[in-house]
């Protein structure tokens, strides 16, 4: 199954934070319903996050399906994964593009909304922090680089580490966004 950019970024963000992450969690129907659905991302850490990911929601009407899915997911997860029911649950809608009315309706239904740009910036900071911690005390980091060790990574983490380490991303724009979201700037190259 193909996954959206939004799902990929959400998954990597939570995995770097050392949360347990499951994608496409089947949500079985309640009595009387004919079809099962799935939850895009289930992330378990100090809380349980039920996350619906949409690169683009074509109309404000489609938010009703997101709301129903997240509400059904919460009931199902609490019932089936009974060991999680004591944790705090948060329903989150991560989006690339969506209508203003859809965001209002989601919030009115107790769903947090996060634009993928914001989560991507936070993901870059978590990645940078993780790599910086791994490389504390290293004397072999080349001049102008941030990190030496990136070998344990794969996929998106490794690719973005390469871009960050080789000044192929605009630190100034990333840092400006990090400050907007109340986060510290990226680490400085050596």
pLDDT in tens, 149-170: 777 788 999 999 999 999 999 9
Give the range among 66-70, 131-135, 177-181 with minimum mean pLDDT.
131-135
Region(s) of the chain under CATH 3.40.1350.10? 5-115
Beginning with the edge strand found earlier in the chain, give each strand of the sheet holding 89-97 in spatial order: 20-27, 37-44, 48-56, 89-97, 111-115
Residue 126 has pLDDT above 60, yes or no: yes
Residue 31 has pLDDT above 60, yes or no: no
Structure tokens at 33: 């319903």
Residue 104 has pLDDT above 80, yes or no: yes
Proportion of the chain above pLDDT 90, given as a percent: 69
Q: What does the pLDDT read at residue 36?
A: 72
End-to-end CA distance of the chain: 41
Separation of CA 144 from chain center: 29
Beta bridge partners of 94: 53, 114
CB 27 within 8 A of CB 66: no
Separation of CA 55 from chain center: 12
Q: What does the pLDDT read at residue 30?
A: 66
Indicate the pTM of the whole model. Answer: 0.90
**CATH 3.40.1350.10 corresponds to the domain 5-115:** yes
Q: What does the pLDDT read at residue 12?
A: 96
Q: Report the pLDDT averaged over residues 140-153.
A: 84
């Amino acid at each position: 199954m193909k996954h959206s950019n939004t799902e990929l970024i959400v998954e990597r963000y939570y995995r770097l934070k050392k949360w347990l992450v499951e994608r496409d969690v089947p949500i079985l129907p309640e009595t009387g319903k004919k079809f099962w659905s799935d939850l895009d991302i289930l992330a378990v850490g100090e809380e349980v996050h039920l996350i619906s990911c949409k690169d683009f929601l074509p109309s404000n009407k489609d938010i009703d399906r997101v709301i129903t899915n997240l509400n059904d997911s919460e009931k199902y997860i609490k019932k089936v994964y009974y060991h999680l029911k004591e944790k705090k649950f948060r329903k989150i809608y991560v989006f690339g593009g969506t209508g203003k009315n859809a965001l209002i309706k989601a919030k009115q239904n107790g769903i947090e909304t996060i634009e993928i740009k914001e989560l991507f910036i936070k993901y870059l900071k978590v990645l940078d922090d993780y790599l910086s911690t791994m490389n504390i005390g290293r004397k072999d980091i080349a001049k102008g680089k941030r990190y030496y060790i990136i070998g344990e990574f794969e996929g998106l983490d490794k690719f973005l580490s390469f871009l960050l380490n080789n000044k192929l991303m605009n630190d100034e724009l990333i840092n400006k966004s990090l400050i907007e979201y109340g986060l510290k700037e990226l680490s400085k190259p050596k």
